[in-house]
Amino acid sequence: MKLFKIESIPKPGAIVYSTIVARSPFARDFYREVAEEVCSKIPSGRVLDIGTGPGIVPLEIARKSQNLEIKAIDISPAMVDIASKNAKDSGLSDRVQFQYGSAKRIPYEDESFDLVVSTLSFHHWAKPIECLKEIHRVLNNHGEAWIYDITWDITNAARRQLKIGTDGSYHF
Ligand SMILES: C[S@@+](CC[C@H](N)C(=O)[O-])C[C@H]1O[C@@H](n2cnc3c(N)ncnc32)[C@H](O)[C@@H]1O
């Protein structure tokens, strides 16, 4: 069987995904925990979220911290539209800038971030090594990258807790 990766999620998938994660208590808790970790690590500075999807993580970070400058990119234009609308609806458009961009060619200058964060996106990246080099490029000397992702190689108990089927499907 030939395996391929879907990088840019098309519009119908983007709408379904955004609706599901907005309603999932598991997703909400996870995003909140990530945002809290970010805000406790860096009280001020520049943060980039890669593969932001509907933008829940950067918007949560913006709610928790007034002193962070937050950028977010996604390779799916549909996701960028959804995230931008979520920012507008939350009154956070001036705090978080969403834009189209790939992890493989990050549209920012060298050493321009203190922290790069990414949730549930890494497994989509077709050229992960190139993407990691790009992340390294945009981080400053003291910068860190926090990449959160899931692995299919987990116990059934963990699968049940995460609500992931044995075929990799989500059951929120
Ligand atoms: C499963 S969603 C995760 C979205 C969000 N981070 C979350 O935790 O809900 C994966 C996202 O990564 C994006 N993506 C995939 N490959 C990418 C790449 N190479 N560069 C930037 N974004 C990418 C997809 O378009 C999609 O929005």
Q: What is the pLDDT of residues 18-51, one digit of tens each?
A: 999 998 888 999 999 999 999 999 999 999 999 9
Return all residues near 30 (Cβ < 8 A) that are at least 6 apart: 119, 148
Fold of 11-162: Rossmann fold (3.40.50)
Listed by start position, the domains of the chain span: 11-162
- Which of these, 106, 17, 13, 11, lies nearest to 55 by C-alpha position? 17
pTM: 0.89
> Is the pLDDT reported for residue 122 higher than 90?
yes
CA 166 to ligand 1 centroid distance, Å: 22
Sign of the dihedral defined by the CA atoms of residues 97, 23, 124, 11, in that order: negative
The closest-lying atom of ligand 1 relative to the alpha carbon of residue 102 is 20
> Is the pLDDT reported for residue 58 higher than 90?
yes
Mean pLDDT of the chain: 90
Cβ of residue 60 lying under 6 Å from some atom of ligand 1? no
Task: Express as a percent the part of the chain with pLDDT over 70.
Answer: 87
